[in-house]
Structure 1
Amino acid sequence: MYEILAFDDLTSLILAMLSVALVGLAKGGLGGAMAIMGMATLSLIVPPVQAAGILLPILLAMDAVSLWSWWKSWDVRLIRTMLPGALVGVAIGWATAAYVTDGVIRLIVGLIALLFIIRWVTAGKAARATAQPHNPVAAAIWSTISGYTSFVAHAGGPPYQIYTVPLRLPPKIFTGTSVAVFSIINFVKVIPYFALGQFDTQNLATSAALLPVALLATLAGVAIVKRLRAEVFYPIMYTMLFLLSVKLIWDGSRSVWGI
């Protein structure tokens, strides 16, 4: 049964199903921390680069479900603002991936996200509840970083959220916009990942085997988010971003300093 897959025992299959379920819940709108945890779980079974190759076709399928679920529930202005920088970041990541380790990128992104959370916690209640205005310069910076880290470390969520969460969009619009932006980013990443040889028969067979779990989890995430009020949604987003920052700092530190 397992010969054509990237793992060869039932325990690995269960862990792989758990990993794509976490990614699916994240794709449904429950935050990037679950996606990173899912990626980390899958990396326990196969090498990280192979895990990324297995997940990308699944991500594309989940993107299709998420786009259908959140169709037109997005901020067109925000998409236009964030997408150019994100695509530039993907291009930079492709060009420089051989020179920068995943560990360094994860550590930097984790520290930035943690500082962002600290700033939010120390701000007054009124400041936390006040929507921040658009800032084209900040949007260009964070979207470029998001596209770059999405390519080299599958950690595009924190930089993106650092800019978009303080805008305090309605939960449905926030989620729909995130889905639209990262769907395009993932589609663009197909070309470089194909060039890296990550779409071989074994990886694609593994992706196909795990796809039903991923799609069901995505729909579950959508159903949960659509029932959340803004005063509940945003504390969850900040909490998930905090968990994500801790995970990234831990992984990056282990890679850089061998902790």
Structure 2
Amino acid sequence: MGGAVVLDLTFFLIAVPAVLFAGISKGGFASGAAFAATPLLALILEPEQAVALMLPLLMVMDVGAMKAFWRKWSRHEARLLMLASLPGLALGAVFFRAADPDLFRLLIGVVAVAFVAFQLARQTGLLRPLRRPMGPVGGTIAGVAMGFTSFVSHAGGPPASVYMLSRPLDKTTFQATSVIVFWLVNLLKVPPYAALGLFSSQMFVAIVILAPVALAGVWLGYRLHNKVPEKLFFGLTYVFLLATGAKLIFDALS
């Protein structure tokens, strides 16, 4: 299923900024916006190639961010989301095997647009954290959704956030819990991605070349955290996501 990745000028003109942007997001502006790299790559690669290429790079970024949040997470929320993600990952693997590229483009495009709608609803107050903390049932549903969307498009952030925002977590604990949860979820995706044949030799060459870019992005994110207004960063993110999401939906339907 993986196919060859052509490492030409067009690839690097898109891939380097996309990976750098994802690293900056992971390092300084919460990891959710790192999802923007996948739709951008899906404009020049087959959708399954885009998600497969980003997986090892996201894992490199996870390791880069892990040190700052080591053991600052909430074990209860992290454990529930990790366990609940397993059936979601399995569903994602089944969907991956059965779906065609245009369906993937449509799904990634829809998730990109929905991601922007979710974030804007949170920031404008249309979507507020639940007054009562979500219990095990709600957390399990969020975890399953997180596992599925993470498997097919690396966009598990919103379902996880819906659950964690309802819990009594401070900012640091929230971020640390996100880091450890997605570190494990991304690690669990490697065997099924490999079994589905999503990796290729050219892709590994691209990953080796882009890994320093990913780490540089994380470092740059740390440096820019207090220098670049979050509204500006996320405003640009939403514009990119809306544009790429709309393009992927158009391509899939046409």
1:204 correspondence with 2:204? yes
**Which residue among 225, 233, 246 is the counterpart of 1:250?**
246
3-state SS of 1:155 partner: coil
The Cα shift of 1:64 comes to: 1.4
3-state SS of 1:97 partner: helix
1:33–1:241 Cα contact (<8 Å) kept: no
2:155 maps to 155
2:35–2:155 Cα contact (<8 Å) kept: yes
Between Structure 1 and Structure 2, how many residues are aligned?
A: 246
Distance in structure 1 (CA, Å) of the matches to 2:96 and 2:55 = 17
Closer/same/farther in 2, CA of residues 77 and 89 from structure 1, 3 Å limit: same
Q: TM (normalized to structure 1)?
A: 0.77
The Cα shift of 1:36 comes to: 2.7
Distance in structure 2 (CA, Å) of the matches to 1:18 and 1:112 = 20
The Cα shift of 1:60 comes to: 1.7
List gaps (5 residues or longer) in structure 2. Answer: none
1:23–1:39 Cα contact (<8 Å) kept: no
1:121 maps to 124
2:39–2:241 Cα contact (<8 Å) kept: no
1:26 maps to 25
Which stretch has the larger CA shift, 236-245 or 139-148?
236-245
The Cα shift of 1:209 comes to: 0.4
List gaps (5 residues or longer) in structure 1. Answer: none
1:29–1:221 Cα contact (<8 Å) kept: yes
Q: Which amino acid aligns with 1:195?
A: A
Closer/same/farther in 2, CA of residues 137 and 106 from structure 1, 3 Å limit: farther
Distance in structure 1 (CA, Å) of the matches to 2:219 and 2:131 = 29
Q: Which amino acid aligns with 1:68?
A: K
1:21–1:217 Cα contact (<8 Å) kept: yes
Identity of aligned residues (%): 28
Which stretch has the larger CA shift, 20-29 or 238-247?
238-247
Closer/same/farther in 2, CA of residues 148 and 13 from structure 1, 3 Å limit: same
3-state SS of 2:199 partner: coil
1:35-89 deviation per Cα after TM superposition (whole angstroms, max 9, x unaligned): 2322222223322221222222212222211212321121111101211111220
1:145 maps to 145
3-state SS of 2:8 partner: coil
Q: Which amino acid aligns with 2:46?
A: P
1:172-196 deviation per Cα after TM superposition (whole angstroms, max 9, x unaligned): 2221111110110110100011112
